[in-house]
Amino acid sequence: PALLIDDEGYIHIAFGGHGGMRKHGENLLGNHGYGKNLHAVSKKPLDISSWTTLDNISLFGTYSQFIKMDNGDMYLFYRHGAHRSDWVYQKSTDNGVTFEAPVSFLK
């Protein structure tokens, strides 16, 4: 899993998945594996006792890593599918409430 604390103190975790499954739809940036990538956020700042799962990142991801910039922008990097899939990032400018569409940076 990948962990990050946003500028408001909420804890984000991206975990699971290994490229999604065919039942999840077509993966335009790679192939399918098994499972789906998930993004959860703590319900309270700096508190891991309860979580909300958000549907705002691609479920085809695996090997997720977060980076937070000095201005608070969050980037989520991951492989978009199983083996030999594109590596992508998704950017959030609102503390992970929403993420832009995946951008491929390595094929």
Using one digit for the tens of pLDDT, what is the confidence trace for 6-36?
Answer: 999 999 999 987 877 788 888 878 888 888 8
Higher-confidence position of 76 and 28? 76
Q: In whole angstroms, give the CA distance from residue 11 to residue 51.
A: 9
CA distance 46 to 81: 31
CA 48, 53, 58, 62 dihedral sign is: positive
Give the model confidence (pLDDT) of 38-73 as tens digits.
999 999 999 999 999 999 999 999 999 999 999 999
Q: What is the pLDDT of residue 35?
A: 82
